[in-house]
Structure 1
């Protein structure tokens, strides 16, 4: 099972980096059990495992040290007896004999042998999954990432053992792993981070009754990992273990694509904006993790910004007009914040669309803005709304190149001589575009048209 494979990859790296020579069982006893289970609050809850099977009157938080060791010995005994269902080995199928197998898929009746070490490896690997929003986790088959996840185990344990955080929720190790990697790979990571810092990053949420780790969006994690692996492709296994186990499969994560988007944002809007607005624009990237996996790889296409598709093939557009301010200061602050969010959305959409247009990217950076300006000049010379409607309802709402070019013909017939070349060049460019590139191009032009209107008012 993949958890065992991940555990093997990690332990090899761990032994190399620490100078230890632990076997899987030794690591499980000396490191894993001591960190995960030998405390009043567990870091991981494995259904039906010896660690969660309580005798009458027992509760995990009330167990004594000798009782926790007894449960460890129960696990050892079951492994020695050859048991290896889902309650004993992480990610394995549930027991047919105990009629738990409704949670299992692709179960075979072919007899196979499971080494005892593989079971311990599966536990180790089970603690290295990275939880992301959408109910899924990821195993990254990359030794350095796995070792960095391990570094975060003790940070989570410290939070659980902190007497001032008595309502801190346990059993969130995979969720914590995602937040830890995001924190650890951040360019401004500090070894002396504190609880307040975690709250400010929205890694932790606090209510009257509970403190818990928030699940990170896969795209936010993607950008942070790219800080360290900007030129690397890492294979990730996307899965969900629960009432029903789900496997989406193995996918390449192209972390260099995050750097591509950062580069375009910097070129378009300046280095200072790319740095100061990073948290805001990066949070807009990324479709649902399940949909991302359906694409076959995690890269530029999977990073499509939220809600972008609703602007394709219709006359919907971003609202980018400058807000009007008055004497109500509180209302002014809200209006300015909303305006900032609209501008970040525009910049995020433009960055991704430009990155997706496959030909002449560098040449295209300001091209749509120039065309948008020419369209406004054409529109302003009309006394009625016919030109405005032609642009909004036909040209920028076109679902195909033919519809776009038909609308463009009508514009060319009326345009002034000094703007004629702009539209003829536009016609030639669109004619040579692929259908996919055209789809991105016309939406980008629509957004630049909306932004140009903002600048003219």
Structure 2
């Protein structure tokens, strides 16, 4: 099971980078690291389903240190006898019978397990990065695994400093910790400073957006395309499998946003990860295979695309949130088109259409309607027909419109909706 592999990796990294003295075995690592930080408190770091720590005999009196020690002894006794990866002792393992909720993992092929692998699976389960949408992610990278290891101790400190906050959220914590640890404000001598995960009384720490995790991983692992494992462990285990994170795409999106809007007050790559909302859930992103630029399509962008769900025009706004959303739309479109020359083309086209719309004498004129017909066009032919109607009445931008028409004709049909949406957004900017 992959949790055991990741757990072994973390133990090896701990022995190499965090320990002075003889290397710890998986059993000793569990005894000296996992139990003290994760379970030797009435608020656990995570809930190991059906294990001794979760049994009513022990879990009902977690505030008693002696009870926690008995749960630990019971765990040692049961793990010592393990010979197959049963889920109550091997985190991420199979059910004990074909009628249980995770019985889909039961196979006639048979699978073996030993105590070392069982202890490693607990460590690996603690390394899952919780993502909004219900999945967790395991990342096999030294820097990420060491960061998560340090994050467990930070989580225990955070719980100690936050009375009343529910425990059992190490995966959710890991998502916030990764964003903080690889973000701009992390201080090694004061690791919890400026870390303020969103919380509620009922649910505790709120799960981090998957796009935010990707933006911060891209900062930590520039240019890399790690293969990650996505899953969910609970009463019913879910396995999505291995997917590749195309972090260069994510990094390019952040850099492009900085290039386009970095001079706007309050807008930078520092804030992009917090502002960014995606159209796709993490499940839908996984269905695309590689998780990269296409999976990061901004939420609500389709509302403004020709032929989209609402096919509506962006409206001028003073709302900072909506302005930031428009900027994110523009950044993603330019990145998808992969042609920065189109930025200048759409800007000059928007200015020309705006000039034509304002050339009439009345508030709402034929000229304005002609410009709007260009912006409302749902496909290339309709766009070119509307542009021709403008040219027949106003040749002041004839050279530019001819160049634009030539570009539209040569453009792949799949790119036109993106170009048209970018033009709508630029027109809105000049209309503000």
TM-score between the two structures when normalised by the length of structure 2: 0.90
Deviation at 1:43, TM superposition (A): 0.9
1:217-249 Cα shifts (integer Å, max 9, x gaps)? 111121122222122111111111223222222
Q: 1:354 aligns with which of 334, 342, 367?
A: 334
Q: Which residue of 2 aligns with 1:168?
A: 165
Q: Which residue of 2 aligns with 1:26?
A: 28
Q: Which residue of 1 aligns with 2:415?
A: 437
| SS across alignment from 1:113 | coil
| SS across alignment from 2:153 | helix
| SS across alignment from 1:5 | helix
- Does residue 452 (structure 1) correspond to residue 423 (structure 2)? The answer is no
Map 1:203-352 to 2 at 5 A. Answer: 203-205=197-199, 207=201, 212-271=204-263, 273=265, 276=268, 278-279=270-271, 282-286=274-278, 287-313=280-306, 315-321=311-317, 338=319, 340-352=320-332
- Does residue 408 (structure 1) correspond to residue 387 (structure 2)? The answer is yes
Deviation at 1:152, TM superposition (A): 0.8
Deviation at 1:70, TM superposition (A): 2.1
| SS across alignment from 1:137 | strand
| SS across alignment from 2:130 | strand
Report if the CA contact (8 A) 1:52-1:60 is conserved. Answer: no
Bigger CA drift: 442-451 or 371-380? 371-380
Deviation at 1:195, TM superposition (A): 6.8
Report if the CA contact (8 A) 1:261-1:352 is conserved. Answer: yes
- Does residue 140 (structure 1) correspond to residue 136 (structure 2)? The answer is no
Query: Gaps spanning 5+ residues in structure 1: where?
Result: 324-337
1:83-133 Cα shifts (integer Å, max 9, x gaps)? 531111111121107x42x23435321123223322111111000001111
Bigger CA drift: 292-301 or 440-449? 292-301
Q: Which residue of 2 aligns with 1:329?
A: none
> How many Å separate the matches in 1 of 2:223 and 2:270?
19
Question: Judging changes above 3 Å, is the alpha-carbon distance between structure 1 residues 204 and 376 closer, same or farther for their aligned structure 2 residues?
Answer: closer
Report if the CA contact (8 A) 1:204-1:211 is conserved. Answer: no
Query: Gaps spanning 5+ residues in structure 2: where?
Result: none
Q: 1:388 aligns with which of 353, 356, 368?
A: 368
> How many Å separate the matches in 1 of 2:351 and 2:122?
60
| SS across alignment from 1:250 | strand
| SS across alignment from 2:56 | coil
Q: Which residue of 2 aligns with 1:75?
A: 75
Deviation at 1:58, TM superposition (A): 6.2
Report if the CA contact (8 A) 2:215-2:254 is conserved. Answer: no
CA RMSD of aligned residues (A): 2.4
1:1-38 Cα shifts (integer Å, max 9, x gaps)? 11112112222222221355122222111111121112
> How many Å separate the matches in 1 of 2:18 and 2:429?
55
- Does residue 426 (structure 1) correspond to residue 404 (structure 2)? The answer is yes
Deviation at 1:174, TM superposition (A): 0.6
Report if the CA contact (8 A) 1:265-1:274 is conserved. Answer: no
- Does residue 36 (structure 1) correspond to residue 38 (structure 2)? The answer is yes
Give the ranges of 4+ consecutive aligned residues of structure 1 lying more than 4 Å apart after TM superposition.
192-196, 271-277
TM-score between the two structures when normalised by the length of structure 1: 0.86
> How many Å separate the matches in 2 of 1:271 and 1:135?
36
Report if the CA contact (8 A) 1:160-1:168 is conserved. Answer: yes
> How many Å separate the matches in 2 of 1:63 and 1:369?
67
Deviation at 1:46, TM superposition (A): 1.4
